[in-house]
Amino acid sequence: MAGYDELLFAPLGGVGEIGMNLSIYGFGSRQRRQWLVVDCGVSFASEEHLPGVDLILPDIRFLIEERKNIAGLVITHGHEDHIGALIDLWPRLKVPVYATPFTAALFEAKRLSEPGAPEIPINVVPIRGRLTLGPFAIDFINVAHSTPESNALAIRTPAGIVLHTGDWKIDPTPLLGAPTDAAKLSALGDEGVLALIGDSTNAVREGHSPSESDVAKTLAELIRTAPARVAVTTFASHVGRLRAVADAARAADREVVLVGRAMERVAQVAREIGYLDGVQDFRSAEAYGYLPPDKVLALCTGSQGEPRAALSRIARDEHPEVTLSRGDRVIFSSRAIPGNEKAVGEVINGLITQGIEVITDRTHLVHVSGHPRREELRQMIGWVRPQILIPAHGEALHLNEHAELARRAGVPQVLVCRNGDLVRLAPGKAAIVDEIPSGRLYKDGSLLVNAESRTIGARRRLSFAGIVSVALALDDKGAFAADPEVELVGLPETDATGVSMADIARDAVEDAFESMPKPRRRDPDAVAEAVRRAVRGAIAQRWNKKPICHVHVLTV
Ligand SMILES: [Zn+2]
Ligand SMILES: [Zn+2]
């Protein structure tokens, strides 16, 4: 039987979680199918959860298998959760990549800053451009978001049109770029949209997001009334916000000093492309010390409490050029990404302890999210009028809320899926028809390790309860040839009564050994196991925690 053509969708990341967005669309028969990849992002790991892991990436086993059938990889916008995995994963795919000018330039600047990063050619698509890749004709539609050149993708196929919203919001007065292209989206709706795959990040928030212009007004007021130095931190990629801060600084007769490499990098790219036209020149951090307190504003990285970023170093008084003191004002024009709250709280508390005033979005409109709230989601559905809606870009709660909203708004088919689900969009009713390999990879130093490997779990156990190493030398009669050696790492030195943990472990080794029947003592494996159990048990009795225990038995 000759296969019939199907239109398929599958998320390999970003659905059921926030971060590491990677979606694929397939068109064709089972025998002849082509794939379009949309975005290739990362998630950030929390140190407690995944010690030593810098980044989390989607597992692309499936795409590596299908490499020859991939028509292209399109990036919707330059945020790390959409492009951050490209440097590590592209060499395994080597497929053509497409992005708009700012996204491409920002990526290139980042790539050049990473030692040893491979060369990755990016095909630049003009703003509002169109691209044909195999059976997919893709229109880039302008949407407002929190970085320049965010795009929704209208993907035309012989089986119908899919709107992949990417990250978006409705903002009639964004500070940078055009508002979300309502006319284009309505026209698409008139034409008939089969499926909408949409951003669910803020699906739990009622109403409509405030505008970037309102944020700019608040920032201007706070910067104008600041009595001494001002530092503002925000996401470096939020060029509209950088503009708002710079304009507010100029109105208050302050010079802007950029602090932090990511901030410098984004500002340079934005300047080259023209997104900072008319904005005063920025000064480098060296200028900071020469400017009077009421004539300077430091625009810093570190809004997420990253310990090595500018603001954290300033808060710890470890920055070589930039210092703050009592009476200065720090504005967090940002919100902590889930998982970073503790780190951000530490920076804020550190600043307040020094008498520095800290302003956050809890009390002032100094930040708005770049994602649509419920009224905006309804508006999008109204424009596009899809037959099928699949919530994406969100955790389970966000996906469900988005789905419920879509059902109430009258979308005929609403389908909630998860990473790895293969969804058939056409022909017939939309349905999950298969599961494809998916998962996570961890960037651990310079290596990518599979999330299922035991490495990181072992590291977490080590950090929780430490390790005891025991070395035993046995002679051929099954007696100790030397005193056992015991080494403890990461354990308390003594128990509650002051007895040394090392002595407790050593006694446990000897007791365990002596209580073994003599013939068994000649079996190194049996000795190792008995000793291991005894040491863990003895320590658990005093500590209520069980360390990892390694026993090495040498026979001499
Ligand atoms: Zn984004
Ligand atoms: Zn995103």
Distance CA(250)–CA(228), nearest Å, equals 15
- Among all bound ligands, the one having the nearest atom to the CA of 39 is 2
Give residue 549's pLDDT: 96
Q: How far is the CA of 224 from the centre of ligand 2 (A)?
A: 33
Counting beta carbons within 10 angstroms of the beta carbon of residue 468, is it exposed (0 to 12), middle (13 to 18) or buried (19 or more)? buried
- Among all bound ligands, the one having the nearest atom to the CA of 149 is 1
Q: How far is the CA of 167 from the centre of ligand 2 (A)?
A: 5
Q: How far is the CA of 43 from the centre of ligand 1 (A)?
A: 12
Give residue 2's pLDDT: 57
What angle in degrees, to the nearest 10, is found between the helix axes of 374-384 and 396-408? Answer: 50
Give residue 426's pLDDT: 97
Q: How far is the CA of 16 from the centre of ligand 2 (A)?
A: 13
Q: How far is the CA of 57 from the centre of ligand 2 (A)?
A: 14
Query: Is the CB of residue 351 less than 8 Å from the CB of residue 358?
Result: yes
Give residue 143's pLDDT: 98
Q: Which bin fits 19, alpha (ψ -120 to 50), beta or left (φ > 0)? A: left
Q: Residue 117 CA to chain centroid, in angstroms? A: 19
Query: Is the CB of residue 131 less than 8 Å from the CB of residue 396?
Result: no
Q: How far is the CA of 26 from the centre of ligand 2 (A)?
A: 22
Q: How far is the CA of 237 from the centre of ligand 2 (A)?
A: 12
Query: Is the CB of residue 100 less than 8 Å from the CB of residue 123?
Result: no
* Close Cβ partners of 254 (under 8 Å, ≥ 6 residues apart): 223, 230, 294, 295, 296, 297
**Strand, coil or helix: 177:** coil
Q: How far is the CA of 209 from the centre of ligand 1 (A)?
A: 15
- Among all bound ligands, the one having the nearest atom to the CA of 151 is 1
Give residue 110's pLDDT: 96
Query: Is the CB of residue 477 less than 8 Å from the CB of residue 86?
Result: no
What strand order describes the sheet that includes 22-28? 122-124, 97-99, 70-74, 33-38, 22-28, 6-13, 421-426, 431-435
- Among all bound ligands, the one having the nearest atom to the CA of 15 is 2
Q: What is the reported pTM? A: 0.92
- Among all bound ligands, the one having the nearest atom to the CA of 201 is 2
Distance CA(434)–CA(422), nearest Å, equals 5
Q: How far is the CA of 240 from the centre of ligand 2 (A)?
A: 17
- Among all bound ligands, the one having the nearest atom to the CA of 19 is 2
Q: What is the pLDDT along the chain (556 residues), one digit of tens a residue?
A: 558 999 999 999 999 998 999 999 999 999 999 999 999 999 988 777 888 898 999 999 999 999 999 999 999 999 999 999 999 999 999 999 999 999 999 999 999 999 999 999 999 999 999 999 999 999 999 999 999 999 999 999 999 999 999 999 999 999 999 999 999 999 999 999 999 999 999 999 999 999 999 999 999 999 999 999 999 999 999 999 999 999 999 999 999 999 999 999 999 999 999 999 999 999 999 999 999 999 999 999 999 999 999 999 999 999 999 999 999 999 999 999 888 899 999 999 999 999 999 999 999 999 999 999 999 999 999 999 999 999 999 999 999 999 999 999 999 999 999 999 999 999 999 999 999 999 999 999 999 999 888 888 888 899 999 999 999 999 988 889 999 999 999 999 999 999 999 999 999 999 999 999 988 999 999 999 999 999 999 999 999 999 999 999 998 8
